[in-house]
Structure 1
Amino acid sequence: MFDGKILCVALTSVAAAFTASGTASAADLVTYQLDWLPGGDKAPIYVCVQEGFCEEAGLEIKIEPGRGSSEAITKLATGTSDIGSAGLGALMAARATEGVPATAVMSIFNMGPHAFYTTADTGIASIKDVKGKKIATSPFTSSNVFLPLVLADNGFSEADITLTKSDPGALGPLLMTGQSDAIIAWLTDVSRYTGQAKEAGKELVVLPWADAGLELYSAALVASDTFLTERPEVAKRFVAAFKKSLEFAYENPDKAAAAVAAMVPELSAEDVKGSWLDASKLAFNEVTETYGLGALDADRLQATWERVAASQDLDPASLQPEDVVDRSFMPASE
């Protein structure tokens, strides 16, 4: 016979079990927007998921790939995604020209990733030495925007170099075969190009633009204004979990690489680790020691905007840098 009391007890037990198991069923969904495809430089968000930092914060994470900061900012501004990584310079330009409803809440990389890569046999030992040389770059890298400024800082212009644009995958071969004297690439790729140089029997030389005066913030944690306004406590929990994940990834590069490889099986942990070790230097450095991890220093913000405005021929008065950031979502310093 059917026993209603037994069914009632059973249902009560199931409900109690769900309650006792934690808040998984009630976790807040957060859509995280990457500014590019998954890779080692994106390790912190994968650590947040795999190491349980986001789960501990009562968060369920959905990760969306991207195709550049402009696309990422558009998705954040329209509310398609809640929070994610994007270039702070790109956000500043978008706020100045379009008034996009998105805000930076934390710095991820406090240094620009831009650099010239060359080989020792070219004789190029400083940025001044690229004058008169053949340079290859990707058509869509944000480095191209800052190239005229870097060259001007060193006393010459694009007219003094032979610049060609090639597929990103062709840059390494162009350099290693001598078809280009130098290439423009990010510091997140040092390990990859070092390996290519070794295979070609050459010594890689890396010339960071930051060492030549291009001091600015690059990747930041950028959020939809709607997300920040409507779910501020969720945003605070996420930022705290992300910061914890960033620190964990820096201290545990093998686990960080494993976290990415576990969720993106087409990437090998070995390649991810090399990329993360390169990228982590943009987050943990002398700037971090001075201002703290994730900090958005007012003077550096101003310097970043001045460079962005100059590179894109924008009126410096069209934006107050402080208007694009909100530091209140960062956890209090310990």
Structure 2
Amino acid sequence: MMSRRGLSGDGRNTLRAWLLRAGLGLAVLLPVQAALAQTPVRFSLDWRWEGPAAPFAVALDKGYFKAEGLDVTIDPAAGSREPISRVASGTYDVGFGDVNSLVRFRDENPGTDIKAVMVMYDRPPFAIIGRKSRGITSDVASLQGKKFGAPAADGAYAQWPIFKAVNKIDDSTMKFENVGFPVREPMLAQGEVDAVFGFSMSSYINLKARGVPQDDIVVLLMSDHGVDLYGNTIIVSPKFAAEKPEAVKGLLRAIMKGVQDTIKDPSSAVDAVIKRNDVAKKDVELERLKMVLDQNMLTPWVKANGVGGIDKARFEKALDQIGLTFTYKTKPKVEDVFSEQYLPAADQRKVN
């Protein structure tokens, strides 16, 4: 009962107990409400969980997506072009895919306004990977008369017409065999083909893992031979971007943090990948990741300007190169394909 000083001891204990129960309820309720407030995002990789996917795994494990109010689900894919069709169909909101394939897809599907919003690979990993013992050297002339494993869905093989045009190659003496991704490197390792098309970090590492001597492997990076294209980018569905622009900005901020952490500590970043791939080996995936960082991501331009953006003049040249072998219905402008409006501020995209 009440005393002159307020509540009695029993009353104070009862109130304290009630507040404790209420506080406990609130503590339980707030995380539930926070979870409900998370924006779901369906994200498609370009391939399996391997070393190059480390920035996305890091962003998941360190809670960078959740800190931006995003509940991100990331799924593997069967090649760098699949994320484009996934995003176009509405099955996925965001993808990690080849921007050059995106240019073609947009032209072949008028009215599809998927855009790239962040460049991850400033230089593409498109390559022709061969063996010295099969007559392949660093000279493109060595490709004449050879047999190639060329997966129809491969992003690197899609650039062959450009590579051929800028290097003035007559491929009438060459043989191109459409092979599945799983048998591409085994066929080269067994000598059934002389070279294959693929991403440098995938085919090179896979061949080494199959026992092909390192000094017998030749990697012809297309970007070293006149192919001035960009590589993989973050692409976003127009519906998702229009309805949730702040979610797109938050997603890119989180990815950027994942990239920066991966650069600082590649070994720990690969651990985040390994736990999502039961058959992956750390030494293999770490080497693969380091190749991507060195060859594709941390280019001189990126070191000077930061991750994610573009050199507009170079992008225009890339569109011209695509047009060498692809007849546009309507040639796009740079801003039709790439938007920088969702990128983090320039000082947040710097890398060492």
Q: Could you state the TM-score of these two structures normalised by the residue count of structure 2?
A: 0.84
Whole-Å separation in 1 of the counterparts to 2:178 and 2:301: 32
Name the counterpart of 2:52. Answer: 41
| Residue type of the alignment partner of 2:76 | P
> How far 1:196 moved relative to its partner?
4.3
- Report the counterpart of residue 119 of structure 2 in structure 1: 107
Contact 2:189 2:212 in 1 (8 A): no
Q: Given the alignment, which residue of 150, 164, 168 partners 1:155?
A: 168
1:216 aligns to what? 229
Q: Is there any run of 5+ residues in structure 2 with no aligned partner, and where? A: 1-13, 348-352
Contact 2:186 2:210 in 1 (8 A): no
What is the aligned residue count?
A: 331
Q: Which residue of 1 aligns with 2:311?
A: 297
Offset at 1:248? Answer: 1.4
**Is 1:307 matched up with 2:324?**
no
4+ runs of 1 displaced by more than 4 Å? 3-9, 20-25, 196-202
Partner of 2:331: 318
Q: Does 1:254 align with 2:254?
A: no
In structure 2, the partner of 1:226 is 239
CA contact (8 A) 1:146 1:311 kept: no
Instruction: Tell whether 2:120 aligns with 1:120.
Output: no
For the residues of structure 2 that align with 1:205 and 1:110, how far apart are their CA atoms? 22
Distance in 2 of aligned mates of 1:235 and 1:164 = 40
Structure 2 residue matching 1:163: 3-state secondary structure:
strand
- Evaluate the alpha carbon distance shift between residue 269 and residue 25 of structure 1 in structure 2; reply closer, same or farther with a 3 A threshold: farther
**Worse-superposed segment, 199-208 or 91-100:** 199-208
Answering whether residue 70 of structure 2 is matched by residue 56 of structure 1, we say no
* Structure 1 residues 288 and 102: alpha-carbon distance in aligned structure 2, compared to 1, 3 A threshold: same
In 1, distance between residues paired with 2:88 and 2:160?
28
Q: Check conservation: 2:46, 2:96, Cα contact below 8 A.
A: yes
- Look up the SS of the partner of 1:265 in the other structure: coil
SS at match of 1:234: helix
Moved more, 133-142 or 80-89: 133-142
Q: Distance in 2 between matches of 1:107 and 1:309?
A: 21
* Conserved 8 A contact 2:41-2:73: yes
**Which structure has the larger Rg over C-alpha atoms?**
2
User: What is aligned with 2:10?
Assistant: none
Displacement of 1:62 after TM fit?
Answer: 0.9
Task: Summarize deviations over 1:204-260 as a string: whole Å, max 9, x none.
Answer: 121111111001111111111121111111211110110111121122111111111
Distance 2:319 2:140 in 1: 23
CA gap 1:177/1:219 in 2 versus in 1, 3 angstroms: same
Aligned AA for 2:21?
A: A
Is residue 32 of structure 1 aligned with residue 72 of structure 2?
no
* 1:148–1:235 Cα change, 3 Å: closer
User: Shift of residue 131 of structure 1?
Assistant: 1.4
- Distance in 1 between residues matched to 2:19 and 2:60, nearest whole Å: 36
In structure 1, distance between residues paired with 2:232 and 2:342 = 17
Question: How far, CA to CA, are the matches of 1:209 and 1:173 in structure 2?
Answer: 22
Any gaps of 5 or more consecutive residues in structure 1? none
Looking at structure 2, the residues matched to 208 and 35 of structure 1 have their Cα atoms a distance apart, in angstroms, of: 19
Aligned equivalents of 1:191, 1:175: Cα separation in 2: 11
Q: Scaled by the length of structure 1, what TM-score is found?
A: 0.88
Residue in structure 2 matching 1:79, options 90, 93, 101: 90
**Do the aligned partners of 1:93 and 1:309 also contact (CA within 8 Å) in 2?**
no
Are the aligned partners of 1:35 and 1:86 in contact in 2 as well (CA < 8 Å)? yes
Which of 77, 87, 90 aligns to 1:66? It is 77
Alignment RMSD (CA, Å): 2.8
* CA distance, structure 2, for counterparts of residue 190 and residue 327 of structure 1: 32
Query: What is the CA deviation profile of residues 162-190 of structure 1, one whole-angstrom value per residue up to 9, with x for unaligned ones?
Result: 22222333333333343322222211225
Structure 1 residues 92 and 155: CA distance shift in structure 2, 3 A: closer
Whether the aligned pair in 1 keeps the contact of 2:57 and 2:273 (CA below 8 Å) is: yes
Preserved CA contact (<8 Å) 2:204 2:219: no
Shift of 1:194: 5.1
1:137/1:183 contact within 8 Å kept: yes
Q: What is the DSSP-based 3-state SS (H/G/I as helix, E as strand, rest coil) of the residue aligned with 1:141?
A: coil
Q: CA deviation at 1:138?
A: 2.0
Does the 8 Å CA contact 1:145/1:312 hold for their aligned counterparts? no
Question: What SS does the aligned partner of 1:328 have?
Answer: coil
Whole-angstrom CA distance in 2 between matches of 1:35 and 1:273? 18
- Report the 3-state secondary structure (helix = DSSP H, G, I; strand = E; otherwise coil) of the residue aligned with 1:220: strand
Quick one: distance in 1 between partners of 2:339 and 2:98?
A: 16
Residue 138 of structure 1 corresponds to 151
Q: CA deviation at 1:270?
A: 3.1
**Distance in structure 1 (CA, Å) of the matches to 2:78 and 2:179:** 17
